[in-house]
Amino acid sequence: MTKDRIEMKRRDFLLGSAAGVVTAASAVSQAGCSKPFVPEEPHRYIDPAACIGCGDCVSLCPMGAIHLVEETSSIDPDECAECGVCSRSRICPADAIHPGKLAWPRTIREAFSNPLVVHEATGVRGRGSEGIKTNDVTDRYPRGSLGVFIELGRPALGTRFVDVERVVKKFTAHGHTLVSDNPVAGLINDPARGTLMPEVLKEKAISVLVEFILPESAVSALHTLLDELAAEVETVFSVGIALRAEPDGASRIEDLFGGEVFRLPNGKVNLGLAQDIAAKGA
């Protein structure tokens, strides 16, 4: 579509709304009703009658799920992770992007990908535990243990739950169960095998974080597990390791994993400022 034609359509749209010669969609929105005029879809969608083909929304989608074809944009429902970025951006001049009416199991896309949505689908709030953030109070990772975080789909690619199942199954087979306060725990149908409900496997999320707590002695087994998983998954995963500091404040990461292991020069440190307060109040 040429720039001129887009401008023409944009102008028509604006003039149409202003003059009362409105499309059905704008009539509905002017009446103060948020319902689109087209039948509600079971996923986020673009109303083709309202879209003016400006293409402004296309580059915003972190999953590359929006495509502009012949002057109209559409969302590929299979690739969309229901993160809500396109809608929240309010970039669409025609108000053509609609949230749709999601039903199970699609709701888990939104629960895992939209940070403003509570995890009702899994019964657990947030994307994971408080992790190291409150370890000075919870002592979730005492000395001698490792918190292992595997974040599937991060960065940039997104993940299907079939890959999440691969990770949970592998760790479960080696005797390491997923922590119970992780949202994925609500999707497991066989805890002994670490399998997920079959209906969620094809669902997609921008990222899914799973967490295991292992004894320090499991480090070499962990190397093997991660190597095997790296070869099996269809996406990427970021690996994080939580470690209680030594009494002098140092980290044992190098002692445990060896100097050659790749690791980023940045990370997070809990400063322990709440430690004695929580202990006193307990």
Partner 1 sequence: MSHTSQRRGLDPATPGEEIIVLAMIPKQHREDEGIRDAMKALAQKMIAHKPHQWLSHNFIALDIPQLGSKQTLLRWLHRVRPEATRDMLFKAVAEKSSVLTAIYTREEDACGLLRDLKGFWLEENRRKGTPISIVLSGLFGDIDKCCRQTGIRPHTYLHSLGVRGRVDRLPNEGKLELVTMCGHGLIAGQRVQLLAERVEKGEITAEQAAEDVARPCVCGIVNQERAARIFKRLAVSPSRSFPGARAAAPPYGTSAG
Shortest spacing between CB 71 and partner 1, in angstroms: 19
> CB under 5 to 8 A by kind: which of partner 1, ligand SF4, none does 96 bind?
ligand SF4
Residue of 95, 136, 165, 203 that binds partner 1 (CB under 8 A): 136
> CB under 5 to 8 A by kind: which of ligand SF4, partner 1, none does 27 bind?
none
Distances in Å between the Cα of 236 and the Cα atoms of 119, 153, 206, 256 are: 23, 5, 11, 24
Residue 186 within binding range of ligand SF4, rule CB under 6 A: no
Place of tokens 């087994």: 221
CA distance 185 to 195: 10
Residues 140 and 147 sit within 8 Å (Cβ to Cβ): yes
> CB under 5 to 8 A by kind: which of partner 1, ligand SF4, none does 261 bind?
partner 1
Locate 234 and state its tokens.
């269809």
Query: Closest Cα partner for 52 from 11, 88, 90?
Result: 11
- Which strand (E) or helix (H) includes residue 205? strand 204-205
Residue 211 within binding range of ligand SF4, rule CB under 6 A: no
Query: Closest Cα partner for 62 from 149, 152, 127, 153?
Result: 153
Residue of 22, 41, 67, 84 that binds ligand SF4 (CB under 6 A): 84
In the bound state with partner 1, the residue whose beta carbon lies nearer, of 22 and 256, is 256
How many other C-beta atoms are found inside a 10 Å radius of the C-beta of residue 186?
16
In the bound state with ligand SF4, the residue whose beta carbon lies nearer, of 70 and 248, is 70
Query: Closest Cα partner for 253 from 269, 238, 274, 236?
Result: 269
> CB under 5 to 8 A by kind: which of partner 1, ligand SF4, none does 229 bind?
partner 1
Interactions with partner 1, residue window 88-107 (CB under 8 A): 88-90
> CB under 5 to 8 A by kind: which of partner 1, ligand SF4, none does 186 bind?
none
CA distance 152 to 78: 18
Q: Which range touches partner 1 (CB under 8 A), out of 23-31, 68-76, 192-200, 242-250?
A: 242-250
Beta-carbon contacts of 223 under 8 Å, excluding residues fewer than 6 positions away, are none
CA distance 116 to 137: 26
Q: Can you tell me whether residue 129 is helix, strand or coil?
A: coil
Residue 263 within binding range of partner 1, rule CB under 8 A: yes
CA distance 109 to 103: 10
Residue 20 within binding range of partner 1, rule CB under 8 A: no
Residue 16 within binding range of partner 1, rule CB under 8 A: no
Interactions with partner 1, residue window 205-234 (CB under 8 A): 206-207, 209, 223, 226-231, 233-234
Contact residues toward ligand SF4 (CB under 6 A) are 44, 46, 51-57, 60-61, 63, 65-66, 68, 73, 75, 80-86, 91-94, 96-97
